[in-house]
């Protein structure tokens, strides 16, 4: 039986992004966006696999270590669990641009998820991100796409994706109602 997933970018979707040129390097710098934890709980309760796919170039730049990122992800998971929600798996790319096949817009992290969850169906899954690289990766896999942006919730017919102002709005307006 095919299973649907919601692939979430991390920074800018689940938590506040660092200022341009900076990275979330520790748990102390991590701050959930409003409604993000509740949105993940709604996805869980609606039967979606929740998978995080995040580029973490700060590792390649020497601004943080893989252990730092793993500690953030451990605490992120624990905090979400306190609210009765969970993330099924978190994948991250620690590489510099152009040096791997996992960094979005490449699809290596998604293919790893398919390896770990063979029942996944990309065509019935969503990619929710805040950048063109997120949308490109999802489009390559024929996933449904939602761009998190400050603009109002619409669909960009030319680009082929929905837009929402938050993960919570995306979940309520496009994902849960469309399953």
Which residues are marked as active site? 9, 11
Adjacent-strand bridge partners of 163: 147, 154
Q: How far apart are CA 165 and CA 121, in angstroms?
A: 26
Strands (E), the chain: 5-8, 49-55, 89-93, 126-129, 144-148, 154-156, 161-164
CB 7 within 8 A of CB 128: yes
Which residue, 80, 76, 66, is CA-closest to 25?
Answer: 66
**Structure-token pair, residue 125:** 């899954």
Largest CA distance in the chain: 43
Q: How far apart are CA 40 and CA 100, in angstroms?
A: 29
């Amino acid at each position: 039986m095919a299973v649907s997933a919601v692939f979430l970018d991390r920074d800018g979707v689940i938590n506040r992004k660092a200022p341009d040129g900076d990275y979330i390097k520790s748990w102390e710098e991590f701050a959930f966006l409003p409604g993000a934890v509740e949105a993940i709980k709604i996805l869980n309760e609606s039967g979606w696999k929740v998978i995080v796919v995040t580029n973490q170039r700060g590792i390649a730049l020497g601004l943080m270590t893989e252990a730092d990122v793993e500690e953030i992800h451990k605490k992120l998971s624990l905090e979400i669990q306190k609210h009765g929600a969970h993330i099924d798996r978190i994948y991250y790319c620690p590489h510099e641009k152009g040096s791997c096949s996992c960094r979005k817009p490449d699809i290596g992290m998604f293919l790893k998820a398919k390896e770990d969850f063979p029942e996944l169906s990309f065509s019935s899954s969503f990619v929710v991100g805040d950048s063109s690289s997120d949308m490109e990766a999802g489009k390559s896999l024929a996933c449904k796409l939602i761009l998190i942006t400050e603009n109002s919730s619409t669909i960009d017919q030319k680009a082929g994706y929905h837009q929402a102002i938050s993960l919570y709005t995306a979940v309520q307006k496009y994902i849960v109602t469309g399953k």
